[in-house]
Amino acid sequence: MSDTEKRASDALEALDVLGRVPRLGGVFGTLVTLLDRALATIAGLTLIAIAGVVIVQILGRLILPAAPVWTEELSRYLFIMMIAVSAGLVMRRGKHISLELFHHRFGVRGACCYQLLISVVLVGFAWLIVPYAWQYASIGAFQTSPALKVSMQWVFGATVVLFAMVILYGVIGVIEAVAGLLGLSRHDKAAPGGERR
């Protein structure tokens, strides 16, 4: 690895504040890891399905006299579901849009506090929105999609899934941040002379 690549890697690592928060182990950590893998697999398969549908649409435009109408609609619905399913993963990995003005100055304790604050705010916001998302999804029960003739309740229900994922992963973030802070506090008390990290 060249010096430039090492500096670039170090700079990216310094910006990954939430990566400093210790992940939980044990049964809880295993369950969260399994959930992460399952949702990542679903999101990946959905992306592959989108690519397949778009290829069918392109081939339909080139080969057939008229492109299949359902392909555009299905690709749009698959994209919506992919976003809804992967919202929590994006939160957990800290890949959402954020301003990184001062994050590089955080140590482990600061990263835990930052994750705790962000997770609480996101859970609170999503908790307020879920009833409205549910109401929005129930409106879709009276509508069907134009081409696929699917109940729009399934499509509108993606908003419920999205905010449910935000709540679930926000709670996981709170648990990990609090566990990280408690673990650091125990470590500080056990350290000789009560040294701070």
Q: How confident is the model at residue 18 (pLDDT cuts 50, 70, 90)?
A: low
Q: Which residues pair with 144 in a beta bridge?
A: 151
Place of tokens 């908003």: 159
Instruction: Say how far apart CA 162 and CA 89 lie, in whole Å.
Output: 11
**Whether pLDDT at 131 is above 90:** yes
Place of tokens 């879709």: 140
Is-contact 108 21, C-beta < 8 A?
Answer: yes
**Whether pLDDT at 144 is above 60:** yes
- Count of other CB atoms within 10 angstroms of residue 106: 18
- Count of other CB atoms within 10 angstroms of residue 194: 8
Instruction: Say how far apart CA 106 and CA 98 lie, in whole Å.
Output: 15
Give the tens place of pLDDT for each residue, 51-96: 999 999 999 888 888 778 899 899 999 999 999 999 988 888 777 7
Is-contact 67 55, C-beta < 8 A?
Answer: no
- Segment among 25-29, 102-106, 175-179 with least mean pLDDT: 102-106
The 3-state DSSP class for residue 1 equals coil
